[in-house]
Chains A and B, each alone.
Chain A
Amino acid sequence: MAVLDDTARTQIWRGLMRYLSGLRESIALNKVELRAAIDATDTWINDNQASFNTALPAAAQSNLTTVQKTLLFCVVAARRVSPAFTRRLLGEIN
């Protein structure tokens, strides 16, 4: 998987700002700094794909597709945000 293109990164940037605005959660970053953080996150994920893959158990390494591994990464990270946020991705967790 390559890094996301500029359009996709912009979509994340806009969506994240609207999401945080809806929460009225304080962030001490400006638009430029937030966009740089998104770019850096995407680049880091891209650069560390192999490391993540190596960390997975052998069965998952060999039997999950790239998209399924990405989803796995996302939902575990999402649960670190909150259970409610994870439900928005998965429908239900219990």
Chain B
Amino acid sequence: MASGQTLVTFSPLHNTPPDWFFVAFTSGSTEPTADGDGTAVIWGDASDANAVLEYLFLTGGTWGGGDAAGYMLLSNDANVAWTSGENFTADTSTPGNHGTLTATPVACFATMDIRNGVNVLDFDATVNELAMFSGFMPRNYSGSSGITVTVGAMSSTATTGDMSWALFLMSITDNVDDMDVKNFADPQVNQAVDAAATLGAVRYFTITHTDGAQMDSIAAGEFFRVLLMRDAQDGANDDMAGDAEFVGLEIKET
């Protein structure tokens, strides 16, 4: 495949809204690892529920010590039992105070909306929200040059301010990856996407992934997943008021 050629595109209708939750925490110990390590167990009066730790974001302190704080992205349909003050541990059936939830879980899927007849996905201004797409990497991907993802988005109400976006990739390798616990690779970001000065105008911006670890080593012909997140809690970079409205995404070979 020649550099610059489109590999695959996704529209809002391709989104599978993840039934996942963000929950803030403070750390009491060294587990789970910062980039997710499969399962976390939430311990509390009413729930000893398993959740898959999809990703962990640090907003303060240092992971591995007792001063870390941030929020975890967890997938589990028993979240109604989780409350602020419960503890979590990892990969064990034995309770241990490896950290404490400091808030109740917040649902985080981008919501479907229609703007002037066009399907869009609304990403909130204060809660990080996600959209998930999946497909097969086209056979004509060279497997060496990486990909450049172009995202189109409008603002619902703002004509000033910036958006911060992150894009995660996950490869599903033949007879290797367990989709129940497989995590996304570290995200690549575009943290300073200006809102369009005209309401209803679409901004196009790019997020680049080099071949290899940044793409979770997705190979040609392999099933893969894409997770797009507006990092609304990025207080330094995301200051656009109101929703961002996603209109589509293109993956091209870099």
Contact = CB atoms under 8 A, between A and B. Distances in A.
A21 B200 CA distance: 12
Contact of B242 (A27, A32, A33): A27
A21 B189 CA distance: 24
Given A13-B126, A26-B199, A31 B157 contact: no
B232 to A, nearest CB: 9
A26 B241 contact: no
B242 A28 contact: no
Interface residues of B, number: 20
Interface residues of A, number: 19
Contact of A17 (B159, B238, B241): B241
Nearest to B160: A28
Contacts of B124: 18
A30 B157 CA distance: 10
Main secondary structure on A side of the interface with B: helix
A50 to B, nearest CB: 32
A29 interface: yes
Contacts of A31: 125-126, 161, 238-241
B239 A21 contact: no
Given A24-B115, A24-B156, A30 B199 contact: no
Given A14-B126, A17-B125, A25 B239 contact: no
B243 interface: yes
Given A18-B124, A24-B115, A32 B239 contact: yes
B33 to A, nearest CB: 31
Contacts of B160: 28-30
B122 interface: yes
B158 interface: yes
A59 interface: no
Interface of A: 13-14, 17-18, 20-34
Interface of B: 115, 122, 124-126, 156-162, 199-200, 238-243
Which 9 pairs, one residue from A and one from B, show the smallest C-beta to C-beta distance? A30-B161, A21-B156, A21-B243, A30-B239, A21-B242, A20-B157, A26-B199, A17-B242, A31-B239
